[in-house]
C-alpha cells in the first residue's frame, strides 16, 4: 500500500486532522524561505500531539549536519528531509533517520537520485529557484525504474485528481503532497486532504 505524507502542516490542529484522515506522515518545514515554515516550538508541539498517529518529518535546507542533529533532538521529529545542493552529501551523516530530495527534469537527474545514500529518496519537480512545494509535476516515467530499487517518495504537483495515475505509473513507496491540498501555502483544506488520501487508497 502506498503511504501518504501531507507536507507543510503549520499547526497542531492541521497535523491532528491530517493524521485523523489517515495520513501516514506529516511534514513540518524549517526552511527559512518557505511560506510553510514553522518555529521549533511549534514543531515540538506537533510531535507531542501527534504521537504515534503519524510520522513527523522535518523539512530542512542549508543547515550543517550538527545543526540538523540538534534540530532533530530539540523537536523530536522522527526523520529529516534534506533539500538543496548539499543534501546528498549531508544525508549520509544522518542515516538512517534522513533522506534527500532531488529535483527531476531529465534522465540525468533521475540517475543522480539513484546515487544518493540510504534506503529512501524523494523526487520532486525541478523548478529553478525553488526547493519544493511548487505545484509542478514532472515526467513520472523518469523515476519508474528507481521506484523498483529504492523506497521512493514521489512529490511534485500531486492532487486528488492525478495521484492515482502517478501511483500506477511509478508505484512509489510514498506520495507527498503540500500545495495540492491547500487553500493557500500552509493553509490545509481538509476536504482536499481527505479526497487525496481516498484517491491514494483507491488506486490499488
Positions marked catalytic: 7, 124
DSSP secondary structure string for all residues of the chain: --EEEEE---SHHHHHHHHHTT-SEEEEE--TT-TTB--HHHHHHHHHHHTTSSEEEEEEES--HHHHHHHHHHH--SEEEEESTTHHHHHHHHTTSEEEEEEESSHHHHHHHHHSSSSEEEEEE--TT--S-S-----GGGGHHHHHHSEEEE-SS--TTTHHHHHHHH--SEEEESGGGEEETTEE-HHHHHHHHHHHHTT-
- Asked whether 179 and 136 are in contact (CB, 8 A), the reply is no
Angle at 29 between CA 24 and CA 30, to 5 degrees: 140
Amino acid at each position: 500500500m502506498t503511504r501518504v505524507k501531507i507536507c507543510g502542516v503549520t499547526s497542531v490542529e492541521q497535523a491532528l486532522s491530517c493524521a485523523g484522515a489517515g495520513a501516514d506522515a506529516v511534514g513540518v518545514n524549517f526552511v527559512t524561505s518557505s511560506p510553510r515554515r514553522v518555529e521549533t516550538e511549534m514543531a515540538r508541539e506537533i510531535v507531542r500531539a501527534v504521537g504515534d498517529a503519524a510520522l513527523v518529518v522535518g523539512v530542512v535546507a542549508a543547515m550543517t549536519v550538527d545543526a540538523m542533529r540538534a534540530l532533530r533532538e530539540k523537536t523530536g521529529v522522527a526523520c529529516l528531509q534534506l533539500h538543496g545542493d548539499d543534501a546528498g552529501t549531508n544525508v549520509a551523516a544522518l542515516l538512517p533517520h534522513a533522506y534527500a530530495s532531488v529535483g527531476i527534469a531529465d534522465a540525468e537527474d533521475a540517475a543522480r537520485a539513484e546515487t544518493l545514500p540510504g534506503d529512501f529518496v524523494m523526487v520532486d519537480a525541478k523548478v529553478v529557484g525553488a526547493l519544493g512545494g511548487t505545484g509542478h509535476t514532472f515526467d513520472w516515467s523518469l523515476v519508474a525504474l528507481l521506484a523498483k530499487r529504492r523506497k521512493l517518495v514521489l512529490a511534485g504537483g500531486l492532487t486528488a485528481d492525478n495521484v492515482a495515475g502517478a501511483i500506477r505509473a511509478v508505484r512509489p513507496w510514498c506520495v507527498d503532497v503540500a500545495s495540492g491540498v491547500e487553500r493557500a501555502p500552509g493553509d490545509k483544506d481538509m476536504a482536499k486532504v481527505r479526497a487525496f488520501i481516498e484517491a491514494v487508497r483507491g488506486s490499488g
